[in-house]
Structure 1
Amino acid sequence: MKDDKLAVLIDADNVPYAHVKEMLGEIAKYGNPTIKRIYADWTKPTVAGWKNVLLENAITPIQQYSYTTGKNSSDSALIIDAMDLLYSKKVTGFCIVSSDSDFTRLATRLREAGMFVMGLGEKKTPQPFITACDKFVYLEILKKEKESDEKSVVKSKQPKDQSLNKIDKSLIKLIADSIEEVSDDNGWAFLGALGNHLIKKRTDFDPRNYGFSKLYPLIKKIGKFEIDERESGEKNIKHIYLRNK
C-alpha cells in the first residue's frame, strides 16, 4: 500500500488549514502523494489561510468561481478532476480531504474501479462518506498528536482528554466480534489480522481515537481479552495473539 501513487484532493471550504503538514504526513503512511490539488474560490476571504501553506507544501490551487450563492462549486471541480485522474491511470489511490458528504458517491465509484480511497475530515463528517472510504482519519487526532509532540508527551501515554471517543461496550463488542471472525480453531486471532479486519468493518476505527498510538495498548487497557505473546524467531520481536475470555 505504501507504494501506491496517491492523488490528494482537498476541499478547502470544508477542512481547516492549520495542520496541513500533519495531514500530509498521515497520508504518506499509506502511499506517495504524487498529485496534490486544492479546490476553492480563491477570491473569497474565507480560504485566505490556505494561501500561506500551499507553496511550502507543493499543493496546486485550483480556482473554481462560485456561480450560485449557497452552492459549493469546488465539489464539482474536485469530482471532475478525480474522474479524469481515474481514467488517466496515473495513480492507484485517492485521498479526499473534506468533511462534506457530497463526496460519498465519488468515493464509492473510485473503490468500484479498484482504487484505494482514504478520507480525512473533521469529527462532524457524515457517516456515509466515512463508510464509503477504505480508511478514514479524523483531523482532530492529528491536531492532538501535534500538541502532544510539542509538549513532549509520549503518545502511548496520552492523557485521557486526548481521546475523541470513550472506551465503551460498543467498542468492546466490536473487538470481541472481530476476534471471533478472524480467529483460528482454538479461538486465537493474530493482532495484525485483527487490526486489518477492524478497519474493514469500521473505516474510521483508529486506536488514536481512544487516546492510544497503537492497537495493542488499547487492547491491554480494556483488559477483557486473553493475550499470548509468541516468539517470532527474530530477536526482540514477538507475535501477539488474542482470544476472547
Structure 2
Amino acid sequence: MQEAKKIALLIDCDNVSHTAIEGVLEELAKHGTVNVRHAHGDWKSSSLSGWADKLHPHAIRPMQQFAYTKGKNATDAAMIIDAMDLLYSGNIDAFALMTSDSDFTPLVLRILENGFPVYGFGQRKTPKPFVDSCSPFIYIENLVSSSESETENVSSPVKKSKAKLRQDTALVRLLRTAIDQAAGDDGWANMGQVASYIANNNSSFSSINYGYGRVSDLIKATELFKVELRNGTAMYIRDPKS
C-alpha cells in the first residue's frame, strides 16, 4: 500500500478568508496527510480574529510576523522562507498554499521544479498567473460550508447549469480534446484516462470550480457527450461530433 503524501499547508492570513479552511482540509485529505499547518500573519491585528478562532480546532500553528514597515507585506517574505525551509527539510511530499496573492507565483514554480505538487486555494480575485501555476487550483468560494456562508454572508457554491457549462468555450474545448486523445479506435474513451489527460495537460484544472466533485460528474452535466457504463463500474465517454 502506497504511503500517504505528507502535505505542508501554508496560509497567507492577510490575503485570504478563513471561511473555507474546513473545506480546504477536507480537499487535501483526498491527497494525503496535512502534517504541517502554518498560518502566517500579524496576530496582533484585529483583522485576523476570524482566523484566530480557527487555529485550535484545526491544529494550525500561528506564525507571527510583525508589520515592521507600513505598506510592506512582511508576511509574504516570511511565508516564502518557511516554504523553502520545508522544501529542503526532506520531510514533505507536497505543498498547499492558501492565498490570493500572485506574488507567490515564483515560489510555486520553484517548488514544482523540485518535483513537488502545489495545491493552490484562493478567492476568485486571484490573478491568473498564480492560478495556472498550481496543480490544481481551487477557488475557496466553492469550499465554504453552508454555516460559514450564513455567518459571513458569503455566497454558497452553486453548480453551473448545463447552459453555463456549454457557454464556457475553454472548458468544452478541454473536454473534447481530452476525450479525443484518450479515445480508442471505436471512439470511446475510458473516464480514468480522460481525467489523467486533463490533469497532465492542465494541472490547475479542478471540477470543483464548476460546482462538481468529480470530472465525470462535470462531463455528464454538460450533456454534450455519450456516457456508457461497462461491467457496472467502468465509465466510457464518446464525443458524438468525432
CA spacing shift, 1:230–1:149, aligned 2, 3 Å: farther
Aligned counterparts of 1:23 and 1:179: Cα–Cα separation in 2: 29
Q: Which residue of 2 aligns with 1:76?
A: 77
Task: Kindly report which structure 2 residues correspond to 1:85-96, keeping only aligned pairs within 5 A, or say none.
Answer: 85-96=86-97
CA RMSD of aligned residues (A): 2.4
Q: Which residue of 1 aligns with 2:237?
A: 242
Q: Which residue of 1 aligns with 2:6?
A: 5
Deviations 1:27-83 (A, max 9, x none): 111110011101001121111221111111111111111122222111111110111
Aligned counterparts of 2:94 and 2:3: Cα–Cα separation in 1: 10
Task: Kindly report which structure 2 residues correspond to 1:24-63, keeping only aligned pairs within 5 A, or say none.
Answer: 24-63=25-64
Q: CA deviation at 1:122?
A: 0.8
Paired amino acid for 1:217:
D
Aligned residues between the structures: 230
Q: What TM-score results when the alignment is normalised by the length of structure 1?
A: 0.85
Q: Would the aligned equivalents of 1:12 and 1:39 in 2 still touch at CA under 8 Å?
A: yes
Q: CA deviation at 1:164?
A: 6.3
Q: Would the aligned equivalents of 1:2 and 1:30 in 2 still touch at CA under 8 Å?
A: no
Q: CA deviation at 1:181?
A: 1.9
Task: Kindly report which structure 2 residues correspond to 1:1-245, keeping only aligned pairs within 5 A, or say none.
Answer: 3-143=4-144, 146-147=145-146, 162-163=158-159, 166-167=164-165, 168=167, 169-231=169-231, 237-245=232-240
Deviations 1:198-223 (A, max 9, x none): 23333443333333333223322322
Paired amino acid for 1:222:
T
CA spacing shift, 1:65–1:161, aligned 2, 3 Å: closer
State, as a whole percentage, how many aligned pairs show the same letter: 37
Q: Unaligned 5+ residue runs, structure 1?
A: 152-159, 232-236
Q: Unaligned 5+ residue runs, structure 2?
A: 151-155
What secondary structure sits across from 1:47 in the alignment? Answer: helix
Q: Would the aligned equivalents of 1:117 and 1:133 in 2 still touch at CA under 8 Å?
A: yes
Q: Would the aligned equivalents of 2:141 and 2:157 in 1 still touch at CA under 8 Å?
A: no
Q: Would the aligned equivalents of 2:42 and 2:65 in 1 still touch at CA under 8 Å?
A: yes
